Amino acid sequence: MKSAITLAQVPEAKTGPFVFHQPLSEGFSMAAELGFDAVELFLPGPDFIDVDEVKAMASAHDLSIAAVGTGAGMVKHGLSLTDPDPDRRKAALAFVLSMIDFGGQLDAPAILGSMQGKWGGEVSQEQSLSWLTDALKAADERAAENGVVFIYEPLNRYETNQFNQLAPAATYLEDQGLEHTVLLADLFHMNIEEPDIGQALRDAGSKVGHVHFADSNRQAVGFGHTEMSSILEALGEIGYEGYLSAEIFPLPDPETAARQTIEAFRQLTG
C-alpha cells in the first residue's frame, strides 16, 4: 500500500478535511519531506493550474498524484449530478468529465463524492438514481478513454442518501456494468455507516480502489478511536495495493496531522 496526503486549493473548503492549504509548491515540498508516496489534489477546477506545472512539481519531488477530487463542483459552483434542473445536471457532468480528463493526464483517477447529490423534495429516489447512473456511465467511459479508473465514494447519511455503504454500491456498480469504476472506502464515513469496517471491505473486495485514511473523528489515524489493525488486515486479505490517502482535518495543525499520518501508515503497513 502507498501513502498520500491531501493538498487543497479551494477557499470554500478551508474548513474541510484537507491537510495542506498553502500554495501547491509548498504542499508538494512538505509531502515529499515527510516521505509520502503521493498527493491527492482538491482544486477549484481543471483550469486552476496547467497540468504540466503539476507534472513538473510531482517529478521534482518524486511524488505521484493519487487522485483528484471533484468536490469543488459542489462547494464552489453548487453543482450536483442529480440536480432537478437539466442545465445544472449538464454543467455538473461537464465539470466531472473535465476533472477526469485533467486527472487522466497525470495518471490519476477522479473521485465523485459530494457531487453525487441527494434525492428528496421534488426528486424521487428512483429518478435520482437514474440520473446518477447516466452520469456514472459517462464518467466510466471517459475514465477508460483516459486509461484511468473512476472512483465513486459512498458518503455518510449526513452528506448523501444515494449510497452510504460499500456493499450495496459494489453490487450496483456490478449490475450497471461500470467496469472502470471503483469504490472509495473513506474510513471516516465507514465508521459511521458500516457495522463492521473490515467485513465491509472484504465484501466489496476487488471493487475497493481508493482509501481515505482517517480516524473516527476525521483526524489523523491515531488521533481517534478507530481500531485500525483489523482494517489493515482486511485490506491485505482483499489484495488492496492502492493508496491510504489522508483526507483529514489539519489538527492540531497541518504538519502534526501529516507527521502523525505517515507514522501511523508506517506502523500499520511496515
Active-site amino acid positions: 153, 247
Range 91-97, long-range pairs (CB < 8 A, 24+ positions): 92/135, 93/135, 93/138, 93/139, 95/45, 95/70, 96/70, 96/135, 96/139, 97/138, 97/139, 97/142
ω before 252 within 30° of 0 (cis)?
yes
Binding to ligand LER in span 113-142, by CB under 6 A: 113-114
Select from 107-115, 116-124, 190-198, 238-246 the region that touches ligand LER (CB under 6 A): 107-115
CB under 5 to 8 A by kind: which of Mn ion, ligand LER, none does 159 bind? ligand LER
Q: Alpha helices, DSSP H only, in 15-124?
A: 24-34, 51-60, 72-75, 86-104
Query: How far is it, in rounded angstroms, from Cα 171 to Cα 70?
Result: 23
* Minimum distance, C-beta of residue 162 to Mn ion, in the bound complex (Å): 14
Q: Which of 58, 59, 82, 83 is nearest to 68 (CA)?
A: 58
One-character DSSP codes across 71-99 = THHHHTT---TT-SSHHHHHHHHHHHHHH
Strands (E), 171-239: 181-186, 208-212
Binding to ligand LER in span 204-243, by CB under 6 A: 212
- Quick count: other Cβ atoms within 10 Å of Cβ 15? 8
CB under 5 to 8 A by kind: which of ligand LER, Mn ion, none does 261 bind? none
Told to check if 40 binds Mn ion by CB under 5 A, we report no
Window 37-76: contact mask with ligand LER (x via CB under 6 A)? ----------------------------------x-----
Please tell me the count of residues contacting ligand LER according to CB under 6 A: 10
Helix 229-237 / helix 254-269 crossing angle, nearest 10 deg: 60
Window 242-261: contact mask with Mn ion (x via CB under 5 A)? -----x--------------
Position among 37, 83, 140, 153 found at the interface with ligand LER (CB under 6 A): 153
Query: How far is it, in rounded angstroms, from Cα 131 to Cα 148?
Result: 23
Position among 40, 212, 221, 268 found at the interface with Mn ion (CB under 5 A): 212
Binding to ligand LER in span 165-204, by CB under 6 A: 186
Select from 86-94, 109-117, 199-207, 221-229 the region that touches ligand LER (CB under 6 A): 109-117
Told to check if 142 binds Mn ion by CB under 5 A, we report no
Position among 100, 108, 139, 155 found at the interface with ligand LER (CB under 6 A): 155
Told to check if 215 binds Mn ion by CB under 5 A, we report no
Q: Which of 66, 1, 5, 40 is nearest to 260 (CA)?
A: 5
CB under 5 to 8 A by kind: which of ligand LER, Mn ion, none does 71 bind? ligand LER
Binding residues for ligand LER, per CB under 6 A? 71, 111, 113-114, 153, 155, 159, 186, 212, 247
Q: Which residues bind Mn ion (CB under 5 A)?
A: 186, 212, 247
